[in-house]
Amino acid sequence: MSKKIYLFATSKSKHAINVKSLDVRLLKPDIDFSKYNYLIITSKQTVKALEQYDKKDFIDTPALCVSVKTANEYEEFGGKILAIGDGYGDNLIKNIKEYPKETKWLYLRAELIASDFVQKSRDDGYMIDEKIIYVSECSKEILDIRVTDDSTLIFTSPSSIECFLKNNSIHPDAKVIVIGKTTANYLPQGTEYIVSQNTSIESCVELALDIK
């Protein structure tokens, strides 16, 4: 019998038991978009939060997006893309360093973030402001879920691991797949895991299907 595949994410796959990891609460702080040359966007929730604002105030400001998927979300929304990262927040530093230090960046972010690329960039003399435009909270689904010991577990963010572990533990017989190295850092010490080749849910699911 095939192992059950659990996907802890905000997106779904037909090949997995989908467990929404987070509930997202949007915020709307005052933002003067005219002060900035470029935006930094690292999630589709950011794009969703931007829908609350007058589009004409920011839509012509190009965005540095963390991944192809995030860039596609912003482009579909009508935004302009400055550059696309490799899927890892930490590596956005190299994209930022391609521009003059006088460049004014605005990072639109969640309340809690895993990467410290902003502080590292500031330490190097780059000008980056931050605005918190959404808050992620553990969903009831992930808090209530119980999984079989030999399941395949797919974690797509540090918070998906943190929320899962509030009421669950990872059994040694489970197969664990993570979307990236940053997410892997949040696993309990000693947990065996596999990092997907690409930082996408599709890549994680394909890997899970291969190792079932």
Is 3.40.50.10090 the CATH number for 5-21+139-211? yes
Q: Against a cut of 0.75, is the pTM above it? A: no
Going residue by residue through the chain, which has 212 residues, state the pLDDT in tens, using 9 for 90 and above: 478 999 999 889 999 999 999 898 999 999 999 999 999 999 989 999 999 999 999 999 999 999 999 999 999 999 999 999 988 788 899 999 999 999 999 999 999 887 889 999 999 999 999 999 999 899 999 999 999 889 999 999 888 999 999 999 999 999 999 998 889 999 999 999 999 988 889 999 999 999 86
Whole-number Å distance between alpha carbons of 197 and 91: 16
Closest C-alpha to 104, from 15, 194, 172, 38: 38
Give CATH 3.40.50.10090 domain extents, the chain. 5-21+139-211, 25-137
Please state which architecture CATH assigns to domain 25-137. Answer: 3-Layer(aba) Sandwich (3.40)
Residues 87, 21 contacting (CB under 8 angstroms): no
